[in-house]
Amino acid sequence: MNKKISAVYPGSFDPPTNGHLDIVNKSSCLFSKIIVAVTDNINKKYTFSLHKRVDLLQKSTKHLKNIRVVSFSGLLADYLGKINSFILIRGLRALSDFEYEFQLALMNRKLNKRIETIFLIPDQSYAFLSSSMVKEVAMLGGDTADFVPSCVEEELKKHFANLSKFHCEK
Ligand code: ADP
């Protein structure tokens, strides 16, 4: 792998999990620079604000020198053209991810034929992790310490404590 090439790792990161961070770690060893691009899609409802998702990723990757966390809205292919970076990193957990990720990779290449998608497989211990499952566990009062960095764990506790307070007060 050419160490002088940068790559973009896009995603919702709502919130970032240890699975996402495993992919960031792996890709930071393969490329000279990784741009973690946090999506802000107006058609999607996020649990955490864009600002919070960027902040949590910055905190959890600050030990890595070649990572930059940014946000973008609109078409990913347009964003890649704007920053002149055409390698996309995506994580592949299981067969269930494959169909969607395959379609997405082909669509991005159709939109701009310079775009190449590279799939990285997380360590086995993260293969079952998803942001939505972590939120479900946190919402039901479960311990998320093994699944997310500590800054995210704190944020999950705060978010779901506020929600349950709101429900009790109603
Ligand atoms: P999106 O809405 O773009 O799918 P996600 O934050 O859910 O955003 O995922 C971003 C990328 O990270 C996707 O390629 C997804 O497959 C990958 N990913 C999510 N969770 C994990 C995990 N536990 N291990 C490896 N890759 C993951």
pLDDT, one tens digit per residue, over 98-149 is 999 999 999 999 999 999 999 999 999 999 999 999 999 999 999 999 999 9
Q: Which of 36, 54, 93 to probe ligand 1 with, by most ligand atoms within 8 A of CB?
A: 93
Domain ranges of the chain: 6-125
The residue whose two tokens read 């939505």 is 132
Give the model's confidence band at 169: pLDDT under 50 very low, under 70 low, under 90 confident, else very high: low
pLDDT reading at 40 higher than 70: yes
How many of the other CB atoms lie within 10 Å of CB of 70?
Answer: 14
DSSP code, position 94:
S
Q: Residue 160 C-alpha to ligand 1 middle, in angstroms? A: 22
Rg of the chain (C-alpha set): 16
Three-state secondary-structure class, residue 25: helix
The residue whose C-alpha atom lies closest to atom 1 belonging to ligand 1 is 11
Is 163 a residue whose pLDDT tops 80? no
- Does the pLDDT value for residue 92 go beyond 80? yes
Whole-number Å distance, alpha carbon 168 to ligand 1 midpoint, is 33
State in Å: Cα 166 to ligand 1 middle. 30
Residue 67 has pLDDT above 90, yes or no: yes
Q: Are the beta carbons of 34 and 24 closer than 8 angstroms?
A: yes
Cut 0.95: pTM above it: no
Query: How is residue 53 written in tokens?
Result: 């998702």
Enumerate the active-site residues.
20, 44, 93, 131
CATH topology of domain 6-125: Rossmann fold (3.40.50)
Smallest CA separation from ligand 1 atom 15, residue: 91
- 56 in contact with ligand 1, CB cutoff 6 A: no
